């Protein structure tokens, strides 16, 4: 197996996730696209861990999974709060923070 | 001879799984049904777990299945359920400037692909890799990476308390 095939798969998933973050309006779908991005990073880390024969990449991948779980928890709580206040989770309607 | 057959099997497995992952990821960002997007995301995450097994990272693969497919997807489905009156196809999920996303993602991919191919063009992964077991990962976590582990514990605690405070009805 080539290392670049895993890196290219990670790059493709990353770009699909970036497209999702830009294109989606629904806040839950934006969070799902962020999950895609985090997973592509994990694939890269594990590919390099196998290449270098070190356990550092595994450790970082586990930490990323934990941070992603925390991020989804807080993110969905915020989405729930926004929905409760505004009856909508369209991100382009949240324009009050504009300076 | 066995090594060659194993390598071919690995490559075929990689090709099939990654095609499935790419199609499912495209469906996640294009489908017009939030629940379908969550279920396509399950396909992507399972494919990622399979790729981790191909990369000889069994423990991370199991953690991926437990945490992502077990817990995070339940959170997503609950979030969908609690913020949405009806479950089904919807038209209003995309931004008005979503076409901007295609050149951005394309340029980003082109830049990354050029960098990857020029740096690691045809470098093989080691055919007899040093396998990393759970004891070694735990030595890493509770050895040199102990401080980030503590920080991560506080992050998780703060996230749990913050989620409860935010979502509580008062």
Please give the full DSSP string across B81-148, using - where no structure is assigned: HHT-SS-S--STTB-TTGGGHHHHHHHHHHHHHHHHHHHHTTPBPPSS-----HHHHHHHHTTTTHHH
**ipTM of this predicted complex?**
0.90
Residue A68 falls within a domain, yes or no? yes
Q: Is B66 on the interface with A (CB under 8 A)?
A: no
Under an 8 A CB cutoff, do A20 and B29 touch?
yes
Measure CA A71 to chain center: 9
Domain coverage including residue A44: 26-90
pLDDT tens digits for chain B (170 residues)?
567 788 888 889 999 999 999 999 999 999 888 889 999 999 999 999 999 999 989 999 999 999 999 999 998 888 888 877 556 677 777 777 778 889 999 999 999 999 999 988 888 888 777 888 899 999 999 999 999 999 999 999 999 998 888 878 76
In this complex, the residue of B78, B80, B116 whose CB is nearest that of residue A4 is: B116
* Number of folded domains that form chain A: 1
Measured between beta carbons, the chain A residues lying within 8 angstroms of B139 are 55
- For the domain made up of B1-88, the CATH class stated in words is mainly alpha
Closest-CA residue of chain B to A91: B95
Please state, in angstroms and rounded to a whole number, the distance separating the CA atoms of residues B77 and B20: 22
Residue A48 falls inside a structural domain: yes
Name the residue ranges covered by the structural domains of chain B: 1-88, 131-170
How far is B22 from A16, CA to CA, in rounded Å? 8
B34-54 and B73-82 helices, crossing angle to 10°: 170
> How far is it, in rounded angstroms, from Cα A28 to Cα A90?
10
């Amino acid at each position: 197996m080539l290392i670049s095939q895993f890196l290219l798969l990670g790059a493709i998933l990353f770009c699909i996730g970036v497209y999702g973050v830009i294109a989606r309006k629904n806040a839950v779908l934006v969070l799902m696209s962020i999950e895609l991005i985090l997973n592509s990073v994990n694939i890269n880390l594990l590919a390099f861990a196998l290449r270098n024969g070190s356990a550092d990449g595994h450790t970082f991948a586990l930490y990323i999974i934990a941070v992603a779980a925390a991020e989804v928890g807080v993110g969905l709580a915020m989405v729930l709060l926004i929905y409760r206040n505004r009856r909508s989770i369209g991100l382009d309607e949240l324009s009050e923070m504009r300076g | 001879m066995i090594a060659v057959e194993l390598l071919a099997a690995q490559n075929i497995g990689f090709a099939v799984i990654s095609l499935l992952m790419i199609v499912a990821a495209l469906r996640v960002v294009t489908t017009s049904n939030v629940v379908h997007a969550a279920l396509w995301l399950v396909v992507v995450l399972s494919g990622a777990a399979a790729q981790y097994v191909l990369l000889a990272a069994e423990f991370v693969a199991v953690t991926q299945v437990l945490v992502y497919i077990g817990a995070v997807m339940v959170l997503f489905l609950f979030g969908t359920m609690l913020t949405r009156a009806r479950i089904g196809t919807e038209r209003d999920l995309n931004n008005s400037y979503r076409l901007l996303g295609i050149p951005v993602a394309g340029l980003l991919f082109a830049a990354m692909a050029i960098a990857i191919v020029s740096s690691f063009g045809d470098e093989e992964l080691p055919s007899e890799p040093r396998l990393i077991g759970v004891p070694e990962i735990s030595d890493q976590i509770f050895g040199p990476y102990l401080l980030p582990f503590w920080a991560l514990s506080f992050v998780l605690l703060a996230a749990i308390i913050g989620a409860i405070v935010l979502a509580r009805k008062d």
